[in-house]
Amino acid sequence: MKKVFAVTLGILTAIGGFIDVGDFVASSQAGARFGMSLAWVLVLGVLGICVYSEMAGRVTAISNLAVFDLIRERLGPRVALVNLVAAFLVTLITLGAELGGVALALELASGVYYLLWVPVAGFVLWIALWRLKFETLERVFGLAGLTLVVFLVALPHLHPQWSSLWQQASQPVPSGSENWNTYGYFAVSLFASAMTPYEVFFFSSGGVEEKWGPDELPVMRANVFVGFPLGGLLSLGIMATAAALFHPLDAQVNSVGQAALPVAVGLGRVGLIVVILGIFAATFGAALENGLSAGYTVAQYFGWQWGKRVAPRAAARFHFVVLLAIVIGVLVLFTTIDPVQLTEFMLVFNAVILPLTYLPILVVANDREYLGDHVNGWFTNLLATIFLVILVIVSIAAIPLMIVTGMGG
């Protein structure tokens, strides 16, 4: 049982990274508008995040330092500052969107307008990050997020045309009235959602929290190769249910409630209850990741004491940054901006900064001064380089595609 709990860091990271409020809608929209023809993007994203997360986890296990610590030390404060500013701003706004996702889940459950839940969600998040142990956070919300398997359970109850879904997945081209621009926009958004920067910062810092060393390399790899593919599988389930229910009707999805509808249609009231629980767990888990990642990156850059492994008083500046990030996230939502649109918008900017996040990890993972004989092998470097080229292409294409398509409209 202890070994099973050991992989919950990867499960929490994967669910919070792959399945957040924007990803619910993005995967559902992709399924509704393109069927399964964008499934390959999620598969590619899973492979990419596994390659770079394994490197980040290995760096942490061997050096006993978080990746951002080493980025500043290895590349210097100026380069690290650019990385910090970009990653922190994106993480900050994404945190606001995730709090909105929590509030939307509570609105689905209670019927009370979501903005009334926002300050409650922010306060509970702060208390959880301030008082609860790291292991408690990862296990409770990592495992609760597994209720999203309900999408996979609901799929056969929708009686899809399996041959049609397979044909769509095997023919990655726009369908119907869609064009290559919108296809490209959704491909960029889905890929960016799989490789969001805060995932690797959270995963690496979580390894420090759990005191990984060389002996924990198998545990780290289990986290990577179980947790992240699981998150990708759940995303594929969301896409497939939307493809089964909405795509034949040529209907679009624009809200979390609509994204949950296939489960309600397939499994009824019980399915709806379970999917609301899953949405809450996944978005709250994503908010936990973003809140901690905001504190991790700033504290590691400035060399402050940080983390849940020490008393809050000993890491006061770290906890202040976390609290400040939560307050700003709540204030952003009080502008009444749609949290779903906010997250989709930030996915584009996630795509823009992807090379800034992953190139330094590749550099550090090849430095024998830190890793000795545990540096990347030729095969890992080959895969990492291929994905780095893809990241650069995605980064360049993101904003033009957003402008040309009007954010996929």
Q: What is the CATH number of the domain that holds 247?
A: 1.20.1740.10
Residues 102/326, Cβ–Cβ less than 8 Å: no
How confident is residue 17, by pLDDT bands cut at 50, 70 and 90?
Answer: low
Instruction: Quick: pLDDT tens for 89-146.
Output: 888 888 998 899 899 999 988 989 999 999 999 999 999 898 877 777 766 766 777 7
Burial class (CB in 10 A: 0-12, 13-18, 19+), 222: middle
Give, rounded to a whole angstrom, the gap between the first and last alpha carbons of the chain: 47
- Is residue 16's pLDDT more than 60? no
User: Which whole number is the average pLDDT over 338-360?
Assistant: 83
Give the integer Cα–Cα distance in Å for 288 and 99: 10
Higher-pLDDT residue of 146, 168: 168
- Confidence bin at 18 (pLDDT 50/70/90): low
The pTM for the full model equals: 0.88
* Count of domains observed in the chain: 1
Question: Which residue in 393, 372, 367, 374 sits closest to 75, CA to CA?
Answer: 367
pLDDT mean over 339-360: 83
Question: What are the start-end ranges of the H helices in 303-365?
Answer: 316-333, 339-364
Q: Whole-angstrom Cα distance, residue 61 to residue 360? A: 17
Give the residue-averaged pLDDT of 355-383: 89
Burial 8-42 (b: 16+ CB within 10 A, else e): bbbbbbbbbbbbbbbbbbbbbbbbbbbbbbbbebb
Query: Treating both helix axes as pointing N-terminal to C-terminal, what angle do 134-144 and 256-302 enclose, rounded to 10 degrees?
Result: 160
Check if the beta carbon of residue 343 is closer than 8 Å to that of residue 97: yes
Domain residues for the domain of 382 are 2-405
214 to each of 49, 167, 200, 206, 220, how far by Cα in Å? 21, 45, 19, 15, 10
Would the pLDDT of 321 be above 50?
yes
Smallest CA-to-CA distance from 344 within 255, 284, 277 is with 255
Residue 270 has pLDDT above 60, yes or no: yes
Q: Percentage of the chain surpassing pLDDT 70?
A: 94
Q: What is the pLDDT of residue 22?
A: 67
Rounded CA gap, 178 and 78, in Å?
Answer: 43
Confidence of residue 52 (pLDDT cuts 50, 70, 90): very high
Q: What is the mean pLDDT of the chain?
A: 86
